[in-house]
């Protein structure tokens, strides 16, 4: 154990709540739990300090809420400022009931903190916590407690509060003059209709709730398909925070989400402009490096022991997702700066 680990007390964790039992309203609609640790980063009293080496980001390959934080971290060059590790699941049903664990570590423990389960950081921060232990989780390495799990704002904090630590020539993903528009798109369109829209469909417990989510999702995709006919990215010539948020859902729809839905209107690959746009983003190393298509596609039945297993789960290891997503697309000339995808100030 590290010196930090030696000073951390063990903590008792609880069985993970199940979304379809605890986050469904009287209409059968999914109501996602609120984030518990939302103290913002900043210089005012009571706010969190952006400090190199103080925080560790935990994220999961299949979770788009956390995937966007890992992409932005790399885009901005914060690798040496915020350490990182991934959580996942083993095949042990007894461990599965406690939620995310350090499944990729040989001893099933995070090498920096010594934790076995993500939940440890949550219950150490709040012993009375009753929600799910979710990613992204930005953990304070001095206390081994969750400092912030606000996926709504975490990438924005990376873009602003951590700006003094960005690499030289880091992209401006959250330009001051566009922030109100970016926030509006993120909060009022991408979150309810796209990012959370797929979960509203997958967790719906009534046909009415499912159909509402279905209409919201595909109506919004139709809107974006039209917009991207003449715009390279959501806000024109350059990639912004909003593009990261859209991409992570697009990357999972044809490879995973579809298996939990009824008849779908279209696959992502059926949208000419959206599909080209997604591949344009995938060309960027930070997007490619943090997108684990084979893990996303395999699903839960990794042993393939059930009689009926969906196509991607059966053949995930044989599909060359990188080749599919690296197919040429002719979108660069929609931009005034064809060879420059980022605004560099």
Of 123, 170, 151, the residue nearest 64 (C-alpha) = 151
Q: Which residue has the tokens 């609880």?
A: 14
Instruction: Say whether the peptide bond before residue 300 is cis (omega within 30 degrees of 0).
Output: no
Region label for 82, one of left (φ > 0), alpha (ψ between -120 and 50) or beta (otherwise) = beta
Output Rg (C-alpha) for the chain, integer angstroms: 20
DSSP string covering 64-78, please? HHHHHHHHHHHHTT-
Number of H helices, E strands in the chain: 15, 4
Of 35, 21, 30, the residue nearest 122 (C-alpha) = 35
Q: Which tokens go with 344?
A: 């560099």
Beta bridge partners of 71: none
Look at strands 145-148 and 137-140 and give their pairing: antiparallel
138 three-state secondary structure: strand
Are 292 and 298 spatial neighbours (Cβ–Cβ below 8 Å)? no
Q: Where are the alpha helices (DSSP H) in the chain?
A: 3-6, 19-22, 64-75, 93-96, 119-125, 154-159, 179-185, 197-203, 207-227, 241-253, 272-282, 285-289, 293-298, 311-315, 321-325
Separation CA 103–CA 3 (nearest Å): 23
What are the residue numbers of the active site? 63, 199
Region label for 164, one of left (φ > 0), alpha (ψ between -120 and 50) or beta (otherwise) = alpha
């Amino acid at each position: 154990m590290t010196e930090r680990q030696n000073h951390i007390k063990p903590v008792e964790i609880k069985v993970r709540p199940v979304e379809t039992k605890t986050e469904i309203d009287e209409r059968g609609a999914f109501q996602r739990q609120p984030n518990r640790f939302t103290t913002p980063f900043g210089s005012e009293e009571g706010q969190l300090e952006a400090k190199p080496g103080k925080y560790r980001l935990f994220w999961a390959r299949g979770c788009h809420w956390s995937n966007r934080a890992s992409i932005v971290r790399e885009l901005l060059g914060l690798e040496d400022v915020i350490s990182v590790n991934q959580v996942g699941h083993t095949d042990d049903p007894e461990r599965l009931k406690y939620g995310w664990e350090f499944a990729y570590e040989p001893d099933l423990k995070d090498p920096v903190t010594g934790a076995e389960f993500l939940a440890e950081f949550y219950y150490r921060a709040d012993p009375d916590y009753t929600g799910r232990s979710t990613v992204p989780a930005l953990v304070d390495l001095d206390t081994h407690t969750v400092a912030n799990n606000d996926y709504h704002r975490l990438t924005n904090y990376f873009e602003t509060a951590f700006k003094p630590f960005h690499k030289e020539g880091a992209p401006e993903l959250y330009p001051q003059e566009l922030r109100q528009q970016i926030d509006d798109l993120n909060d009022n369109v991408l979150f309810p209709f796209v990012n959370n829209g797929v979960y509203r469909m997958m967790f719906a417990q009534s046909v009415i709730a499912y159909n509402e989510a279905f209409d919201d999702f595909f109506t919004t995709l139709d809107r974006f398909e039209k917009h991207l006919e003449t715009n390279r990215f959501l806000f024109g010539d350059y990639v912004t925070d909003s593009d990261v948020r859209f991409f992570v859902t697009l990357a999972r729809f044809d490879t995973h989400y579809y298996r939990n839905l009824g008849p779908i209107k279209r696959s992502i690959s059926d949208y000419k402009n959206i599909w080209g746009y997604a591949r344009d983003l995938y060309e960027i190393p930070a997007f490619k490096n943090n997108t684990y298509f084979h893990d996303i596609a395999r699903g839960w039945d990794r042993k393939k022991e059930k009689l009926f297993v969906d196509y991607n789960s059966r053949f995930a290891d044989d599909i060359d997702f990188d080749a599919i997503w690296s197919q040429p697309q002719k979108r660069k000339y929609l931009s005034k700066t064809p060879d420059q995808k980022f605004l560099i100030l």
